[in-house]
Structure 1
Amino acid sequence: YLVGGGQNHSNISGGGGQNHSNISGGGGSEPHVQGYKSQNKFLNKEILELTILLRNAESRERSLEVKYVALEAKLCQVESKYLVLLQDLKSPVCSSSEQSPAREVISRLLEDALDNTDPAEHAVFKPHPVSEYDVFGFRTVPEEDDEEEKLVAKVRALDLRSLSLTDPEVSVGVKWENYLSSTMNRDMVHCPELKALMRSGVPHVHRSKVWRWCISYHTRMFRDNLAPNYYETLLGVARDKPNPASKQIELDLLRTLPNNKHYSSPGADGIQKLRNVLLAFSWRNPDIGYCQGLNRLAAIALLYLDQEDAFWCLITIVEVFMPQDYYTKTLLGSQVDQRVFKDLLSEKLPRLHAHFDLYKVDSSLITFNWFLVLFVDSVNSDLLFKIWDAFLYEGPKIIFRFALALFKYKEEEFLKLQDSMAIFKYLRYFTITILDWRKLMSIAFVDMNPFPLRQIQNRRTFHLEKVRLELTELEAIRQTFLRERDTHTDAGPLCSDDEEDN
């Protein structure tokens, strides 16, 4: 088509040149017009044909991309099952004979599964390569030499990869692109459309922008009355003056997210930023100073935000979202939320609540940390950031929704366990086995409804009075004990019964 078009163009050009000379000579206007009409018809036909070809090519390309993604997802699923099968076969097959030929085969398969640095070196089929770190910087496979743990981690990584390839991320991404393009010349506003998008998860490429808007929205009541350089000024003061929180901050820096490359060593790029954010926050909030847990919140925020925005993210969580005394030494607000959660667990999941009561299992031993650090180190990283997306938009009600959803997701597995030690052991790791974020989101935002915020606020008020009363009673007992101890001390040194008899 293009070659033919070029030939016709030169013919037309020649005709056009001849007509031009006619026109300049004062005649031939009719042939001139007819020539251009013919040229337009031809070019329009060319454009239509090329458009059809382009559309067909784009359609075939999209179709091939869909097939490729589906095949890659299937490959991940097959390789995941291959690794599981390999782990199951390893002991039974090899135990029959130390010199069995199967032992060598299984060993080679196991070696290949764990080491895929250079596929050309091995004749055995190589599994799908699993990156050492995920997109957020978290280590996907443990550093330990335990082969079983490495295999389990690889299986989980492959399953996550498979889910990411088969989920509706593309349609979600298109919806976000359309929404953000519509707000290009105006600020984002709270609305049902944005709420639905936040609940579906923010694409990685847009998360920094969306989180900044959420934080700005929730903290504008503070920031409107402060100087633009408030954070830098605060940080400068915190560095120059003695800070009682600085010692504990230094101790906790490398303990924050040791499985994330941005915080895994003293020279990692996130350590100094984390130090600055925590120091500035401790100076702004002397009643809190520093509480273990704040380091993890700030570290997660810094993965998508600069220092100043991460500082305001911490303000959003501690001063806007969470009740008073949530991160103080008494952890009063945190204790109250655990009682509220147990009430909700008995209402939303009565069978599981009764099961825990029967075996005297206290779920708060696990859930306390969920609430304090917003599921950091409790769920896989992809799910963690989707929870944070909804949390930064809607607030603390999201924590209750997802805490209940996690238990609902694995309720049947818990009910099968008939021993308190087995239940507690499962409590410690069951959240890491949850990979299907779509199912979890459906449980959290559909199955848990209705979920009125007023109910949570009323329960908080009720339990706050009870906890305060209990703390008052404990303080009275403590004071009585101290008085009695001081009385015995004044009466003379304490001695044993034998000494008294002598």
Structure 2
Amino acid sequence: MMEVIQGQERKEIPGGTGLQQLIRRLTDDLEDNPSDRVASDNKVDLEDDQEGPVNLPAPGAPFSALLPSMLPDDLAGYESNTEDPNSQPAYRYDEFGFRVEEEDGPEHCSSKLLSIPFIESPRRHLQWTVELGLENDKQTIRKSSKLDELVKSGIPHSLRKFLWPILLDTHKKKTGIGISYREILSSSSNENSQYSKQIEKDLLRTMPNNVCFAKKDSVGVPRLRRVLRAVSWIYPDVGYCQGMGMIASTLLLFLPEEDTFWCMASIIDLLLPSSYYSSNLWGAQADQRVLRSLVAEHLPEVDNVLKEHDIEISLITLQWFITLYSSCLHIKIVLRIWDLLFHYGTSILFKVGVSMLKTAETRLLTAENSAQIFNILSSLPHQMDDVDALMDSVIQLSDDLINREKLEMLRRKHLSEIMSDESSFSLHMDTSRPVPRPWTLNRKLNRSKSIVGILIGDDEENKLDPRCKNIKRTEQLVYLKEAILRIGTFFQGLDPLYQNIKLQPDYSFESHTRDIEVYMCTSVNKRRRARALLGIYSFFYYQKGGGGRK
């Protein structure tokens, strides 16, 4: 017997019921979230509360993998895309609502993905419902080695809208922020804000080949607008980044709007490192250097080729990480990656990146010039047409090779380097501008633990955040270094005598061996200058008749 809890109501599903009844009852529990629709300026109407079309697509048919409320109103109109019924259609739509051109055959390098219908196995669905071990509040699931094995084989698609929010711990975000989604929407509805204008420009660019986001009146566009505005409002220190649009639109294909927002909040605040989507992208930049370190460790020959041709892979891989691969890989692969990512954490991002580069290792080693290497790397995501082979390669990179502790160590190292590099000033810097404050004002809510928010906050919980370790001191030293460089540049402009003095810091080991010698020399000189100044002061003092003497 299995119990499913929805709010305060407990429903029991007898073990003797059929599989279809079990699936139907579980699905009904997941989708039942009715709320009154309001047409008021102060309240926002959520379209997820509306029911989708009565006639749902058959499994494997176009649009069959979408959330019911995301289905187009006129399914028949989208299915018949040619005026002549006897002619070959110019295009079709897949199970996820993506337009697939038919004139040149299947999508480039994705024939295997497109040829296999996306149909869920009822047997796997039943296996998952039995193995989950749901808690009474329906907000957690029992973590076990069995769950690990199930996730590796992929979450049944009909359960993703239920399990993804749980794996991302969205319940923790809801209770921690202390404000409802509707209240956030009401506060973030300003169309004239800086982020709202940029969001509006990107709405139709995010997923132009998907029926849910292709036109202004497409069902997903207003939902995407609200989610992105809500994210930019609740995280003003993060704001809006284009990569967020790809993640949010992909989530909206399968999750209700409110769940999508809380998943976005958990991804930004809990899953990814700090400052991943900030204006300087420090967190994302650090991850690119971490990826390069892992490539050097696991694919040394590829790393040598990249060094030889001076190829910076972050020009390509940064977009992979910023969008969690949703902008480059086929949606069927993205779903499997996100299953692992939401369960195991960000180590999956690096394992996928290393695995993808490994599939191109032979071609990279035989490439003749930099242009060929760059083309291979750029087209690499389109070459991924075997989701099972890629997932097997990812799983083979065990936690002993790429684990959380190792990644945190590498992130701290590279983040310190980036912060140091960012602080370097040229000798001809613009001194007319004040040195920017190393923080931004944050909305008074319990929200984003960005680097800056963690460092200057008074909250004891923030001070104990493990991501904050050693970063506060590093950032303070960076801004101290900036101030010293500005002072040095100022005096170089005053006196030509100082023009030949180098202001660049020396971090070499040899410089550390001279620290005591330099310190002692400076200390002696300071004492001499102090005695000389004291003597000059005394001389003038007594010359003026001070102390009773002439």
Q: TM-score range by the shorter chain?
A: 0.5 to 0.7
Partner of 1:376: 326
Cα distance in structure 1, aligned partners of 2:203 and 2:135: 38
Letter in 2 for 1:156: S
Shift of 1:170: 7.1
Q: Does 1:436 align with 2:436?
A: no
**1:453 maps to what in 2?**
404
SS of residue paired to 1:135: coil
Q: Distance in 2 between matches of 1:421 and 1:290?
A: 33
Q: CA offset at residue 116 of structure 1?
A: 11
The structure with the larger Rg is 1
**C-alpha displacement at 1:392, in angstroms?**
1.5
Question: Which digits, 9 at most, give the CA deviation of each residue in 1:376-435, with x for residues without a partner?
Answer: 121111001111111122221111111111111222222222211011112111211211
Pair 1:175-2:135 in alignment: no
Structure 1, residues 22-71: CA drift from partner, whole Å, max 9, x if none? xxxxxxxxxxxxxxxxxxxxxxxxxxxxxxxxxxxxxxxxxxxxxxxxxx
Q: Distance in 1 between matches of 2:172 and 2:281?
A: 25
* 2-structure distance, mates of 1:155, 1:226: 44
Deviation per residue, 1:432-479 (Å, 9 max, x gap): 121111111111111455222100000111111111111111477634
| Number of the residue aligned with 2:203 | 253
Q: Helix, strand or coil for the counterpart of 1:340?
A: helix
User: Which one of 201, 210, 216 corresponds to residue 154 of structure 2?
Assistant: 201
Amino acid paired to 1:402: V
Indicate which of 283, 293, 309 corresponds to 1:359.
309
Letter in 2 for 1:382: K
Q: Is the 8 A contact 2:320 2:328 kept in 1?
A: yes
Shift of 1:313: 1.0
Q: Deviations over 1:185-208 (max 9, x none)?
A: 664122222222222211222211
RMSD: 3.2
Q: Find the residue that maps to 2:208 and give its secondary structure.
A: coil
CA contact (8 A) 1:401 1:448 kept: no
User: Which of 349, 355, 360 is 1:405 aligned to?
Assistant: 355
Q: 1:264 to 1:345 in 2, by over 3 A?
A: same
Counterparts in 2 of 1:175 and 1:318: CA distance versus 1, 3 Å: same
Task: Quote the residue 1:467 is aligned against.
Answer: 418
SS in 2 for 1:132: strand
Partner of 1:135: 95
1:235 and 2:188 correspond: no
CA distance 1:406–1:119, change in 2 (3 Å): farther
Equivalent in the alignment of 1:494: none
Other-structure match for 2:167: 214
Name the structure 2 match of 1:331. 281
What is the alpha-carbon distance in structure 2 between the residues aligned to residue 225 and residue 363 of structure 1? 38
Whether 1:156 aligns to 2:110 is yes
Cα separation, 1, equivalents of 2:275 and 2:427: 21
Aligned 8 A contact 1:208 1:304 in 2: yes
Change (3 A) 1:121 1:231: closer
Which whole-Å CA distance do the structure 1 matches of 2:149 and 2:303 have between them?
Answer: 30
Out of 365, 377, 395, which is 2:345 matched to? Answer: 395
1:239-279 superposed Cα distances (whole Å, 9 cap, x missing partner): 15852211101011111111111111101100000000111
The CA distance in 2 between the partners of 1:426 and 1:481, in whole Å, is 45
| Partner of residue 43, structure 1 | none
> So what's the TM-score if we normalise by structure 1?
0.64
* Among candidates 260, 269, 272, match of residue 219 of structure 2: 269
Once the two structures are TM-superposed, the CA of residue 300 in structure 1 deviates from its matched residue by 1.1
1:224: how far off?
2.1
Give how far 1:139 is off. Answer: 2.0
Match of 2:266 in 1: 316
Corresponding letter in the other structure for 1:374: L
Give yes or no for contact 2:92–2:100 (8 Å, CA) kept in 1: yes
Measure, in 2, the Cα distance between the counterparts of 1:270 and 1:281. 16
**CA shift digits 1:72-91 (9 cap, x unpaired):** xxxxxxxxxxxxxxxxxxxx
CA deviation vs aligned residue, 1:301-360 (integer Å, no higher than 9, x gap): 111111111111111111111222111111111111111110001001111111111222
Q: Identity over the aligned pairs, expressed in percent?
A: 30
What does residue 441 of structure 2 align with? none
Structure 1: gaps (5+ residues): 1-114, 489-502
Cα 1:154–1:472 change in 2 (3 A) is: closer
TM-score by length of 2: 0.59
**Residues 404, 163 of structure 1: CA spacing in aligned structure 2 closer, same or farther, 3 A cutoff?**
farther
**Residues 231 and 239, structure 2, Cα contact 8 Å, conserved in 1:** yes
1:478 match: secondary structure: coil
Is residue 134–residue 142 contact of structure 2 (8 Å, CA) maintained in 1? no
Q: Do residues 419 (structure 1) and 419 (structure 2) align?
A: no
CA distance in 1 between partners of 2:387 and 2:292 (Å): 24
Check the 8 A contact 2:351/2:397 in 1, yes or no.
Answer: no
The separation in 1 between residues aligned to 2:407 and 2:344, in whole angstroms, is 14
CA contact (8 A) 2:286 2:418 kept: yes
Paired residue type of 1:381: I
C-alpha distance in 2 between matches for 1:398 and 1:130: 38
Do the aligned partners of 1:375 and 1:384 also contact (CA within 8 Å) in 2?
yes
Preserved CA contact (<8 Å) 1:352 1:411: yes
**Which of 229, 245, 248 is the aligned partner of 1:298?**
248
Greater share of helix: 1
Equivalenced residues, count: 356
How far, CA to CA, are the matches of 2:345 and 2:117 in structure 1? 26
Return the letter of the residue paired with 1:418. E
Q: Do the aligned partners of residues 427 and 226 (structure 1) sit closer, same or farther apart at CA in structure 2, a change above 3 Å counting?
A: closer
> Which residue in 2 is equivalent to 1:111?
none
Unaligned runs of 5+ residues in structure 2 are 1-79, 434-485, 494-550
Call closer, same or farther: CA 1:338–1:421 in 2, change over 3 Å.
same
Q: Deviations over 1:196-233 (max 9, x none)?
A: 22222112222111113223x2x333322455x61100
Tell me the CA shift for residue 286 of structure 1.
1.0
Note closer, same or farther for the CA distance 1:431–1:241 as it changes in structure 2 (3 Å cut): closer
Q: Provide the C-alpha distance between the structure 1 equivalents of 2:264 and 2:394, rounded to a whole number of angstroms.
A: 24
Contact 1:257–1:264 (Cα < 8 Å) also in 2: yes
1:141 maps to a residue whose letter is E
